[in-house]
Amino acid sequence: MILKGLKEKSIKKNLNTILKNRGEHFNTNKIESLGIILNADETNDFESIKTIAQSINLRPNKLKIIAFTESKKEVTYSWNDCFNPKDFTWNGKVNNIELQTFLDTKFDLLISYYSKDVLELKYLTTASKAQFKVGIFQEDKRINDLIIKTEFKNIEAFKTELKKYLSVLNKLNT
């Protein structure tokens, strides 16, 4: 119990440090690669999530999806990489090679598709080296560069709004 509290405090500290040191930058690079972080406890509709890449004209090999679940037991989902609180050390660092590789990948676009306020998910989004971060409505507005407020279950509305904003920002390959 003490380690859980220490782990949570460490993750919050790491999250705030990253957010404090995050510079405000905007590049005009076109979207060539996409990473998606989602909460496996909120959705299991993997096929709908994959269509986000299709809606912005990205090939499937340029898409990487990871999921996080608060369940500590191994659960198999329809996607390859699913992580849980065991993948974080007591001092709030990631101790999973695949997860760290995802965070170190410089995606052109990272989508945080989760609505629940889960500390580990916020940390994963913040720690990602993605160039441009988009999420659905979240309490902490510092985490994403663009927030699209749509109903969580309405992926079609999210895709429509995402495409519209990426077009305005001239980030889509046409």
Domains of the chain: 2-168 (3.40.50)
Tell me the H-state helices in 22-84.
46-55
**pLDDT-based confidence at 74, cuts 50/70/90?**
low
Q: Is 76 helix (H, G, I), strand (E, B) or coil?
A: coil
pLDDT surpasses 80 at 130:
yes
Calpha distance 139→83 (Å, rounded): 23
Name the burial class of residue 41, with classes exposed (0-12), middle (13-18) and buried (19+) by CB atoms within 10 angstroms of its CB: middle
Instruction: State the pTM of this model.
Output: 0.87
Residue 72: what pLDDT?
64
Calpha distance 94→85 (Å, rounded): 10
Name the residue among 123, 146, 113, 119 with its Cα closest to residue 38.
113
Question: What's at 154, amino acid-wise?
Answer: N
Name the residue among 170, 115, 104 with its Cα closest to residue 147.
115
pLDDT surpasses 70 at 78:
no
